[in-house]
Amino acid sequence: MNFLFSIWDFTQSQILGMKWLNLLVGNILEKVGIDSTSQLFSGVQFFFYDVIKITILLCTLIFFISYIQSYFPPEKSKKILGRFHGISANIIGALLGTVTPFCSCSSIPLFIGFTSAGLPLGVTFSFLISSPMVDLGSLLLLMGIFGAKVALLYVILGLVIAVIGGSLIEKLKLENEIEDFILNAKEIGNVDIDIPKLTTRDRVLYAKNQMLETFKKVFPYILIGVGIGAFIHNWIPEKWIIAILGSKNTFGVILATLLGTPIYADIFGTIPIAEALLFKGANLGSILAFMMAVTTLSLPSLIMLRKAVKPKLLKVFILICVVGIIIVGYIFNSFQYFII
């Protein structure tokens, strides 16, 4: 058993966490002549270490997850979802969201396609909530930063939000809050077509193209996120972070959720900010609430969603997500001592 724990610790610290890379970057900076005791050294080390680490994880994860996604095209996902009813359909919708696009703006076209194909509204919203919030990439990235307990609990609670949120929308009977053009235009997102048969080579090429496209799209946000994280890590006083997002501020989770809502980013861009905030003394729940809000409720994605749904349904969606994220944040704050 100790041997297995040793293997797991090595995997988490050296493979997912890449602690060896941090040492390597530090050694290179020392050889360049930067004083290892200076703030500049610490900031530059944080920046290059996180950019390289997240880039390696990003490309590796997207390739393998995209390969998995090739088995779940919209046509097949629609057929899978159509076999289930009630709460089980919401659960399957949320689970399918974990193997689909990495940001909310990419998920909305699929949501439109599923809705126009006649799938229950609650099921499509369970998918829409889970897709950007709890993809498989977030699980592995969070394991490298916060550990397995935090990562697993984050994914589980994210799926709970997705299932409950979709179920509530289903119970509220808001089908008339979908824009008419989606319900009437069957050609939009028509997923009732033959599923193409892909060879292994086709799937590898698909995964490679998805990796390159996603990398080009998110890399600027990685640079911005790591830059902000490096600034927080080395130049923002710890007492400021603790006062705003630490245990002394009862409303830290609510503030973090509201701050994260308008920002457009994804899990890869928010991870370095979260890492720096944790180092500075922010509560875990506040950090994860910020991450969930950024990935699920970004302003561009809400603008896109507004074109598909009417204001009442959009407000219900935002309210459910915000309340769910805040509750999750306070849960993490309550159990932070036991899971970190």
246 or 257, which is more confident: 257
| Any domain includes 310 | yes
CA-angle at 299, arms to 298 and 303, nearest 5°: 120
Helix pair angle (19-32, 39-69), 10° resolution: 140
Parent domain of 98? 14-26+37-339
How confident is the model at residue 320, as a pLDDT?
92
Question: Cα(61)–Cα(322) distance, rounded to whole angstroms?
Answer: 28
Alpha-carbon distances of 138 from 57, 88, 155, rounded to whole Å: 11, 24, 8
Comparing 104 with 250, the larger pLDDT belongs to 250
For 128-148, the pLDDT digits (tens) are 888 878 877 777 778 877 888
Residue 89 lies in a domain: yes
Does 319 map to a domain? yes
Residue 6 domain-assigned (yes or no): no
Q: How confident is the model at residue 198 (pLDDT cuts 50, 70, 90)?
A: confident
Q: Name the DSSP class of 176.
A: G
What does the CA dihedral 2, 150, 221, 48 come to, rounded to 10 degrees? -30
Which candidate, 207, 214, 165, 213, places its Cα nearest to that of 328?
Answer: 165
Residue at 67 is within a domain: yes
* 17-21-24 Cα angle (round to 5): 155
Using alpha carbons, select from 315, 249, 251, 246 the residue that is nearest to residue 281.
246
Residue 9 lies in a domain: no
Backbone angles phi, psi at 25, to 5 degrees: -60, -40
Q: For residue 16, which amino acid is it?
A: L
Of 67-76, 91-100, 321-330, minimum mean pLDDT range: 67-76
What's the pLDDT at 274?
Answer: 84
Report the pLDDT value the prediction gives residue 30, as an integer from 0 to 100. 92
Average pLDDT, the chain: 81
Planar angle of CA 137, 21, 3, nearest 5 degrees? 75
User: Encoding tokens for residue 213?
Assistant: 């496209």
- Residue 266 dihedral angles phi and psi, to the nearest 5°: -135, -175
- Token readout for 298 is 């970004």
pLDDT at 118: 74
When pLDDT is averaged across residues 15-34 and rounded to a whole number, the result is: 87
What is the C-alpha to C-alpha distance for residues 69 and 64, in angstroms, rounded to an integer?
9
pLDDT in tens, 299-333: 777 887 888 888 899 999 999 999 999 999 999 99
Residue 254 maps to a domain: yes
pLDDT band at 55 (very low <50, low <70, confident <90, very high): confident
Confidence tier at 191 by pLDDT (50, 70, 90): very low
Is 71 contained in some domain?
yes
**222 closest CA partner among 64, 107, 57, 104:** 57
Pull the structure tokens for residue 130.
Answer: 């889970």
Q: How many domains does the chain have?
A: 1
